[in-house]
């Protein structure tokens, strides 16, 4: 290898190394949480179907999957009298408990990843974190592709991020236009009884400003933004 080539290669490697910014890690973490959601849903369904052979009444009594998995791990062979479930040898029950224990670990890992996302957001996007919330903010960055791209988007685009399918359906078939994408999960919208469309537009405006402030490292503005929202809609 001649010197120029070597230098060039080093430079390219350096640039690649430096291209890993916080939002790359954030996108990974958000994707992980999504996959963990899928995996826990799959396995929770399996655990229920399996455990119902033994104790169907108990499964019905505990609709929450996380709670259910936790209780199965702890539950030692105490079954309601007159249960419709079959008596099963200890060996079979042990298998179910192993699956439940593993499921608990996966839920814990998901919590862990969620805290990690919160940390990343707090450190790198304090304004977004406060205005949109860590998970919604992270999800917006993930869909946009990077904080930079999100910061350069129009507020009306931010409002619709995550509603692409419904938007295309609207354009192609004339179905009702969506009013919001992932920001719907924000309590400011989801907990409102009326004016959800208006609230979505206002919130998207503020998130859009927050993203710009975070990207261009402006002064902390989240409190003011939230106050303006509050003034406009009360509560």
62 belongs to the binding site for a copy of itself (CB under 8 A): no
Stretch that binds a copy of itself, among 38-46, 130-138, 150-158, 170-178 (CB under 8 A): 38-46
Stretch that binds a copy of itself, among 50-58, 60-68, 172-180, 211-219 (CB under 8 A): 50-58
User: Which of 65, 66, 73, 88 is close enough to bind a copy of itself by CB under 8 A?
Assistant: 88
93 belongs to the binding site for a copy of itself (CB under 8 A): no
Of the pair 9, 171, the CB lying nearest a copy of itself is at: 9
- Is residue 158 left, alpha or beta, with left meaning phi > 0 and alpha meaning psi from -120 to 50? alpha
118 belongs to the binding site for a copy of itself (CB under 8 A): no
User: Which of 77, 80, 105, 230 is close enough to bind a copy of itself by CB under 8 A?
Assistant: 105
Stretch that binds a copy of itself, among 82-90, 126-134, 210-218, 220-228 (CB under 8 A): 82-90
The minimum distance between CB 79 and a copy of itself, in angstroms, equals: 11
Of the pair 19, 76, the CB lying nearest a copy of itself is at: 19
For a copy of itself (CB under 8 A), the number of binding residues is 44
**What number of residues does the chain have?**
235
User: Which of 1, 4, 5, 38 is close enough to bind a copy of itself by CB under 8 A?
Assistant: 38
Stretch that binds a copy of itself, among 69-77, 80-88, 141-149, 212-220 (CB under 8 A): 80-88
User: Which of 1, 5, 78, 87 is close enough to bind a copy of itself by CB under 8 A?
Assistant: 87
Return d(Cα 149, Cα 166) in angstroms, integer.
22
């Amino acid at each position: 290898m001649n010197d120029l080539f070597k230098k060039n290669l080093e430079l390219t490697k350096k640039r690649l190394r430096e291209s890993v910014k916080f939002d790359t890690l954030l996108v990974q973490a958000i994707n992980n949480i999504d996959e963990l959601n899928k995996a826990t849903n799959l396995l929770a369904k399996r655990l229920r179907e399996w455990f119902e052979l033994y104790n169907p009444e108990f499964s019905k009594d505990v609709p929450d999957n996380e709670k259910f998995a936790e209780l199965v791990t702890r539950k030692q062979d105490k079954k309601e009298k007159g249960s419709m479930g079959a008596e099963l040898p200890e060996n079979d029950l042990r298998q179910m408990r192993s699956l439940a224990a593993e499921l608990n670990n996966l839920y814990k890992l998901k919590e862990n990843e969620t805290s990690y996302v919160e940390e990343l957001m707090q450190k790198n996007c304090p304004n977004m974190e406060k205005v949109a919330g860590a998970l919604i903010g992270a999800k917006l960055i993930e869909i946009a592709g990077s904080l930079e791209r999100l910061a350069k988007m129009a507020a009306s685009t931010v409002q619709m991020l995550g509603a692409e399918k419904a938007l295309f359906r609207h354009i192609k078939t004339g179905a009702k236009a969506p009013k919001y994408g992932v920001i719907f999960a924000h309590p400011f919208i989801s907990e409102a009884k009326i004016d959800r469309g208006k609230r979505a537009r206002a919130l998207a405006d503020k998130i859009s400003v927050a993203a710009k402030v975070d990207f261009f490292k402006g002064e902390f503005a989240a409190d003011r933004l939230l106050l303006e929202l509050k003034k406009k809609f009360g509560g």
